[in-house]
């Protein structure tokens, strides 16, 4: 396989293997071995002493765990550089992401043992909390990458992103054309759909799917009330417009569902990356401070 891949063919042509299952869970095994070894050593070092864990981060074992944890953290951040360079085989990006995920998860055990379960309102616990923020956002990201891309194409169906937007735009034009004979208040209602429609909204709306006050919905409701009082000629126009507003609503739902999935796929990074930087800074402050005030 490796030979074939070196000639530029896909090494994994026979099947698709996700980064989670890469190399028969090689990195998961590495992480588990690392954690079991850490727990065993921790037990061996502390059990005879009755687990007196105050300042256990400053014991030789504590330094060892801390150093390993810090090195792993620094390596994990290298994925930001690594993903922009192309390699293959054992050091393919997939292998790298697999290691990133499993070694990142192994930090939960390594670093928690390093803390000796001592927490407080200080820079040290801040670093620990930031680590959790990075890991949890990373877990969200992993779940997103595993489950969401399928849903993404499901939602979109056989339409392209541009097609979805074009349909809404052309509906807007047709609604506007159709509404020309309407009187002032009816026209104002239709205008709500044209002006006040919230296509996908901000981050909150993208994530929650809550679009209260969307102009299209308000236009639909308002026209429904007006329809009862309208004359026959106006009623025919209003019915046509209502039909188009309903179709626009359907298309809006589709776009929003799609965008919601896309947002989930991207939003975790907005926690993961800044928190990683904050973590590296807090880690630096943690390391310097413990040696500054030995």
Partner 1 sequence: MSFTIHRVTQRAHGGEPIQRSKRVEGDVASIGRGTDCDIQLPDLTIGLHHADMRITGRGEVAVEALGDYTFEAHGTVVRRAKFRVADRPKLVFASYLLAFGPETTQDEVAVTVTHASDGGEIADQSSERKVFSLAPNAFGLRRAAWLLGLLVLAIGLAVPVAFHFLNLNASSVAPQEQWSPGPLSQGHSFLQHNCEACHAKAFHAILDAACLACHQNKPGAKASTAIAVRVLGMGSLFPPDPAQDHAAQNLLSRATGGAGVFEHPAVANLSNFMNRPGQRCISCHTDHVGNDGHRMAATQATTAETLTTDCTSCHAALKSRLPDTAVLDVVDWGQHPDFRLLMASLVARGRPNFDRDSMTDGPFDKGLKFSHRTHLSPTGDVAREALENSKPVAPDGRLSCSACHQPDMEGRGFLPIEMTKDCSACHSLRIRGIDGRPDTLPHGDIAKAIAKMRSINNVDGDTGLRTTRLRPGTSEETSTDQSLTSMTSTVTRKIRALFTNAGATKGLCYGCHAFVAPKDPDSVEFKVVRVQLTNRYLPRSGFDHSVPAHLLNANGKPGCVQCHATNSSESLSNVIIPGISQCKLCHGNATAPWGEAAASNCTECHGYHNTGDPPAREIYERPWRLPPGL
Binding residue for partner 1, selected from 16, 24, 84, 184, defined by CB under 8 A: 184
Collapse the DSSP code of 62 into the 3-class scheme (helix H, G, I; strand E, B; otherwise coil) and give the result.
helix
Of 57, 235, 257, 262, whose CA–CA distance to 148 is shortest? Answer: 262
274: contact with partner 1 by CB under 8 A? yes
Q: How far apart are CA 10 and CA 4, in angstroms?
A: 7
Stretch that binds partner 1, among 95-103, 104-112, 134-142, 179-187 (CB under 8 A): 179-187
Least distance between partner 1 and beta carbon 39 (Å): 17
Within residues 105-124, the interface with partner 1 by CB under 8 A covers 118, 120-124
Within residues 43-62, the interface with partner 1 by CB under 8 A covers 45, 48-52, 54-55, 59-61
194: contact with partner 1 by CB under 8 A? yes
Within residues 196-215, the interface with partner 1 by CB under 8 A covers 199-200, 202-203, 206
Helix, strand, coil: what percent of the chain each, to 5?
A: 80, 0, 20
The site string for partner 1 over 21-40 (x = CB under 8 A, - otherwise) reads --------------------
Q: How far apart are CA 206 and CA 204, in angstroms?
A: 5
Least distance between partner 1 and beta carbon 100 (Å): 17
Within residues 151-170, the interface with partner 1 by CB under 8 A covers 161-162, 165-166, 168-169
Q: How far apart are CA 43 and CA 49, in angstroms?
A: 10
Of 172, 104, 167, 180, whose CA–CA distance to 138 is shortest? Answer: 104
Q: How far apart are CA 179 and CA 85, in angstroms?
A: 55
Least distance between partner 1 and beta carbon 9 (Å): 33
């Amino acid at each position: 396989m490796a030979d074939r891949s070196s000639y530029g063919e896909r090494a994994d042509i026979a099947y698709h293997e996700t980064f989670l299952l890469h190399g028969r869970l090689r990195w998961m095994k590495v992480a588990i071995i690392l954690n079991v070894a850490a727990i065993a050593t921790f037990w061996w070092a502390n059990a005879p002493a009755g687990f007196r864990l105050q300042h256990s981060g400053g014991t030789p074992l504590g330094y060892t765990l801390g150093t390993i944890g810090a090195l792993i953290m620094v390596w994990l951040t290298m994925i930001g550089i690594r993903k922009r360079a192309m390699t293959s085989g054992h050091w393919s990006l997939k292998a790298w992401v697999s290691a990133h995920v499993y070694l990142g998860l192994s930090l939960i055990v390594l670093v928690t043992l390093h803390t000796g379960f001592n927490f407080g309102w200080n820079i040290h616990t801040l670093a620990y909390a930031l680590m959790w923020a990075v890991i949890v956002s990373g877990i969200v990201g992993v779940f997103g990458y595993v489950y969401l891309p399928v849903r993404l194409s499901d939602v979109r169906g056989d339409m392209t992103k541009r097609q979805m937007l074009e349909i809404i735009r052309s509906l807007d034009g047709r609604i506007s054309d159709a509404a020309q004979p309407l009187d002032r208040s009816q026209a104002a209602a239709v205008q709500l759909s044209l002006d006040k429609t919230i296509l996908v909204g901000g981050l909150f709306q993208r994530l929650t799917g809550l679009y209260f006050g969307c102009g299209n919905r308000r236009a639909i409701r308002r026209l429904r009330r007006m329809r009862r009082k309208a004359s026959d000629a106006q009623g025919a126009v209003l019915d046509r417009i209502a039909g188009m507003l309903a179709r626009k609503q359907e298309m809006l739902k589709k776009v929003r569902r799609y965008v919601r999935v896309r947002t989930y796929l991207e939003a975790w990074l907005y926690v993961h990356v800044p928190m990683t930087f904050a973590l590296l800074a807090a880690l630096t402050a943690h390391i310097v401070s413990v040696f500054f005030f030995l």
